[in-house]
Structure 1
C-alpha cells in the first residue's frame, strides 16, 4: 500500500478548521459505509478543539452514525478528571457531549485523581487498547489519527531528545519532566501512531513554520518527532498560510502542496 504524504494549505485558522472538519465528516461517512466501526484518535490544543467545534456545527455531521465511532486520545495531561486543561475535557465541550453515543465509545486516558500512579495509568490504557483490538493485536486499527505539532516539533507528548520518541516496545508511556506544562503526561508511542491508516496533522500559525519545514525536510526524528510520523495509507498536513513561512521553496512542489480549494478528497 502506497503512503501518500501531502500538505494542504488554507488561508487562515478559521478556514483550516472548517475544512478539516468537513473532510473528517465526509471520510467518516465513507468509512462507515464500508466497515462496521471506525476508530479515531483525537488530539488537544487550540486547533484540535477548533476542528471538533466545526464538526459539531457542520450540518453534514448528522449523516454520521456516531454510535459506530470509537474515540481515543494520542496523549493526555496528568490532571484530575474534568480539569479544563485535559484534552478529554476540551473534546467533550467541543463535540463529544453533544453526540448520542455510548460512554463505552469514548476511551479517555486515566486521570490523576483516580487513585492510581502514572505508570499504572499507562498500563491501564495499554490494556484498554488491547481489549479493543482484533486478531491478537495490541491496539485497534485506527482509521484516522489527529495530531497537533508543537513549535519544537513534538507530537502527542513525544518531545525532542526524550526517550519517549524512541520507544518501540510499549504502546503507552508515562511522561515526566515534560518541557511543556504540566510535567506529567501519558502518550501513545510512535509505532502506535504510525499504525493508523491515516494520520492528519493540523497546525497553524507562524510559530509552527520552523517545525513544519524541518519535518518536511526529513529532520532527525529524535530532534523533530513530527518527522517520524507516517500513516499506513496517508499522512496529511493541514496547515494555514502562516505555517508555511519557513518551508523551503524546494519542498513546495505541486505534487506535495495543494491549496484548500484544489486538494483532492481521496485520502
Structure 2
C-alpha cells in the first residue's frame, strides 16, 4: 500500500511537530476531539507539552482528550494509559476536567464499553451515527497491533463503536475503539519509533493491506488523512 510517511531524524523533532499541530488545533475556537495513544513516544510528548513555555501557547479549553484503548485497571495503576497522561501532563496544565474523557478501567468491561460509547455519542459530532474525531493518534506494536486490535483475533470487522478485547499473550482485558470508529476520523496519525518496527513497516509499504494480518496496516481514515510519523530507525527500510 502507499504509505504516507514523514521521517524525522530524532524523536524530539517528531515531538516538536506534534506540538505545533496541537497548538494549531487549539486555536480553532471550537471543541476539538483528540484520541490519545499509550506508549513511550506519547509519554515524551506529554512531558514536552507540560513545560510552561509550551503549555502557555495552547488554548486548553478547546481541546477534548479521549483514548484509543485502555487496560481494565485502576486509573492510579502504573499500566493505565490515562494515569500516565494525568501524572505527566493534565495535573500541570489548565485543562478543564470536563475535557478529559477517560475509559474508566476500574469498571466492569462490558459496562464500560457501553458507557464510553454513550459518552462519545453525546459529545462528538456524528456522521451516519458514528462519532467523528478531529485527530486520532495511534501507535503500532511489534506484532502490528494498534489500539487493542490484535492480529488473528477477528476484531477488525467488529461492528459498533467500542469492544472488549483480550491481549493475546497476557490475557489482559481492555476496552478499545473499533476499527469502524477509528476509520471515521478526519485524521489519523501513527507514531512509530525504533528499528524493531522497521520490518513490519516495510511489509505495510510493499504489500496490499488485505494480504497482511496487521491491524495497523488496515486502519486508515476513510474520508480524511492517514499519515505515519517515523523516526529514522523505524523508516530505515522504507523506499
TM-score normalised per structure 1:
0.80
- Give the Cα separation in 1 of the matches to 2:72 and 2:219: 24
Residues 131, 100 of structure 1: alpha-carbon distance in 2 compared, 3 angstrom cutoff = same
Give the secondary-structure state (helix, strand or coil) at the position aligned to 1:211.
helix
Give the secondary-structure state (helix, strand or coil) at the position aligned to 1:164.
coil
* 1:141 aligned onto 2:132: yes
Q: Structure 2 residue aligned with 1:198, among 187, 195, 199?
A: 187
Find the counterpart in structure 1 of residue 116 from structure 2: 125
CA contact (8 A) 1:21 1:55 kept: no
Give the secondary-structure state (helix, strand or coil) at the position aligned to 1:209.
helix
Greater displacement, 117-126 / 128-137: 128-137
CA contact (8 A) 1:47 1:202 kept: yes
CA contact (8 A) 1:25 1:61 kept: no
- Where in structure 1 do 4 or more consecutive aligned residues deviate above 6 Å? none
Give the secondary-structure state (helix, strand or coil) at the position aligned to 2:79.
coil
Deviations 1:126-175 (A, max 9, x none): 111111133576454311111110011100000001122221x2101001
- Give the Cα separation in 2 of the matches to 1:236 and 1:98: 29
CA contact (8 A) 1:29 1:64 kept: yes
* 1:87 aligned onto 2:81: yes
Q: Structure 2 residue aligned with 1:210, among 199, 206, 220?
A: 199
Mapping of residues 36-47 of structure 1, within 5 Å: 36-47=30-41
Residues 190, 136 of structure 1: alpha-carbon distance in 2 compared, 3 angstrom cutoff = closer
Q: Structure 2 residue aligned with 1:179, among 168, 171, 175?
A: 168
Q: Structure 2 residue aligned with 1:50, among 44, 54, 75?
A: 44
Q: Structure 1 residue aligned with 2:145, among 154, 162, 170?
A: 154
Q: Any gaps of 5 or more consecutive residues in structure 1?
A: 253-267
CA contact (8 A) 1:77 1:182 kept: no
- Give the Cα separation in 2 of the matches to 1:125 and 1:222: 30
* 1:227 aligned onto 2:217: yes
- Give the Cα separation in 1 of the matches to 2:220 and 2:93: 30
Greater displacement, 117-126 / 224-233: 224-233
How big is the shift at 1:76?
0.5
Q: Any gaps of 5 or more consecutive residues in structure 2?
A: none
* 1:240 aligned onto 2:204: no
CA contact (8 A) 1:45 1:148 kept: yes
- Give the Cα separation in 2 of the matches to 1:135 and 1:156: 21
Give the secondary-structure state (helix, strand or coil) at the position aligned to 1:165.
coil
Deviations 1:39-61 (A, max 9, x none): 11000011121222222237344
Count of matched residue pairs: 236
Residues 239, 118 of structure 1: alpha-carbon distance in 2 compared, 3 angstrom cutoff = same
TM-score normalised per structure 2:
0.89
